Amino acid sequence: MRCPFCNQENTRVVDSRPVEETNSIRRRRMCDECGKRFTTYEKVETIPLIVIKKDQSREQYNRSKIEDGIMRACYKRPIPVQSITDAIDDIETEIFNREEREIPSTEVGEIVMDRLKELDPVAYVRFASVYREFKDVNTFMDELKKMLGEQ
C-alpha cells in the first residue's frame, strides 16, 4: 500500500478491526519512510449480479432500487428505520446467497414482498399494488382476501 503523504510503498499495518455495518475491515497503517499514519478499508469484492427485467433487458443489481421501493411502501407507517434497514439487508443476503450471476426481477420482487408481508401488512399491499400492477379495485381486493386468508 502506498503512503498518501510521501508515495513510498513501505507501509505496515498497525491495527485492524472489522467494521460491522459495511462488512469491511478498517486498517490503521504507518509509513516506514515518513512515519505518518493513515487508514484504509478493505471490502470483499463480489461478482456483479445482473437483474433480468420483464422486457428481458439486463441491468446491474442496484440496492438503492430496493431501498426506494421499500421506503415508498413504508411511507408514514410506524416502522422503525432499523427494521427497514434489516429487511433490506435480509433481502440482499437472500438474493446473493443464491450464488447466481443473473436473477429475474420477478424473483427479486417476490422476495421483497415476502419480507414486507412480515414487516407490515399495509406496506406489503402498497408494494404489491405497484409490483403486481393492479388494474382495478377487484384485483386489489383479491390480493387483500388472499393475504387475510393466510392469517
Q: What SS3 string covers 9-40?
A: CCEEEEEEEEEHHHCEEEEEEEECCCCCEEEE
* The pLDDT value given to residue 79: 96
Give yes or no for residue 97 having a pLDDT over 80: yes
pLDDT in tens, 16-68: 998 877 678 999 999 999 999 999 988 876 678 999 999 999 999 999 999 99
Q: What is the mean pLDDT of residues 77-94?
A: 93
Domain spans in the chain, listed from the N-terminal domain onward: 11-43, 50-150
The model's pTM: 0.67
Taking Cα atoms as reference points, which of 113, 57, 63, 69 lies closest to residue 89? 63
What does the pLDDT look like over 102-132, one tens digit per residue?
999 999 999 999 999 999 999 999 998 888 8
Q: pLDDT at position 151, please? A: 66
Per-residue cell: 86: 434489516
Q: What is the pLDDT of residue 80?
A: 95
Q: What is the pLDDT of residue 62?
A: 92
| Model confidence pLDDT, tens digit, residues 27-41 | 999 999 999 999 998
How far apart, in whole angstroms, are the C-alpha atoms of residue 91 and residue 83?
12
On whether the CB atoms of residues 3 and 11 are closer than 8 A, the answer is yes
Extract the C-alpha cell encoding 144: 387483500
Query: What is the predicted pLDDT for the residue at 126?
Result: 92
Assess whether pLDDT exceeds 90 at residue 5. Answer: yes
